[in-house]
Amino acid sequence: MAKSATDVGVQQSPHQRGDRELTYAEALVEAIAELMKEDPDFLIIGSYVLGLGPMRALFDEVRHEYPKRVLDPPTAEIGFTGFGVGAAMNGLHVLVDLSTASFIFEAFPQVVNEAANASYMSGGRLAVPIVFHFLHGLRGGGAAQHSHSPQAMLWNTPGLQIMMPSSPADVRGMLPTAIKSGNPTVFVDHSKLMPVRGYVPALPKEIPLGVADIKRSGRDVTVVATSYSVQQSLSACKTLASEGIDTELVDPRTVVPLDRQTILESVAKTGRLVVVDETHRSCGIASEIAAIASEEILDALKVPIIRVTVPDVPVPFSPVLESELDTTPERIAAAVRYQMTRKQINRL
């Protein structure tokens, strides 16, 4: 069985006096509340920013304070997403919440064929400041129609920035960046991240696009992971450390734009790469990062790259079957161990 969200991850110490320990959901809502307060043009369309779990009540305060700027639309994803796109074209800063990531398929034409293309087709004369927010991935019982991780498909769509925070501090610093970036941005959350606790600065700073974060420094193996798989990887790193394997964990945080340099520098240092991601194996986030590493830095690799991903099958319902596909800390740790023990590439 997969460990539950609260078991996963490594609690880091506060960096500075005044850092506050918050859940991911609290940090997300704090960012939304701040944007609502600071920016009278900030509009939210969608009802389930925090999903359907118990954390959802945190969002109610924002909803009650700003009833005119938190709109609960009908079940009409292409319609209300298009409303968001049009409102953004007319000067509002919009967050369209699609709730479960799988529902973005109902809105795909507006996301990938309108918002993503609009600036380009206009010849740079039009900005579309909109954020598409959803909760992706294996959530426990979501099964085939409620467990998608569409970020790889969206990465295959030029014109969308893609942000994937993995900690309370990151989501607190990244959501304002997404809203203020002035461009269509896919903001990828995960329901299993919502209860994760972590320290958030007393005065949160915006985290820029395209800046990766080294979540753990190490010298033996580089693990690149995104979203909730960062938390799973942190858990794996802890186990591996007790075995004497020193893992470096790189979290790109945004894949569009992608901080290639931080990833490649880490791989140059360790010579071993494991890419972990919850998108499906073929043409997934991990595939692209592996391709970049093999194009740019093959000489530095001591062993071939390994991907730890969700296999190419629909997500099943039964917990045993869902767990079989998950990028669990155990699977990640096993991949790292294999990288340490397998035969090195012969370069003679």
Which residues contribute to the site for another protein (CB under 8 A)? 41, 43, 68-69, 71, 73-74, 76, 78-92, 109-110, 113-114, 117-128, 158-159, 161, 182-183
Min separation Cβ 148 and another protein, Å? 20
Residues shown for the chain: 348
**What letter represents residue 88's amino acid?**
A
* Closer of 89 and 267 to another protein (Cβ): 89
Residues 285 and 152: their CA atoms lie apart, in Å, by 5
Residue 273: closest CA among 241, 296, 257 = 296
Shortest separation between residue 125's beta carbon and another protein, angstroms? 5
Minimum distance, C-beta of residue 184 to another protein, in the bound complex (Å): 8
Burial of 317 (0-12, 13-18, 19+ CB in 10 A): middle
Q: Which is nearer to another protein, 183 or 222 (CB)?
A: 183
Closest CA to 21 of 124, 240, 168: 168
Closer residue to another protein in complex, CB, 50/71 = 71
Contact 274, 249 (CB under 8 A): no
> CB neighbours (10 Å) of residue 6?
11
Residue positions annotated with a catalytic role: 146
Q: Are 310 and 280 in contact (CB under 8 A)?
A: yes
Residue 168 CB, shortest distance to another protein, in Å, is 28
Q: At closest approach, how far in Å is the CB of 51 from another protein?
A: 23
- Closest CB to another protein among residues 120, 219: 120
Instruction: Choose between 7 and 38: whose C-beta lies nearer to another protein.
Output: 38
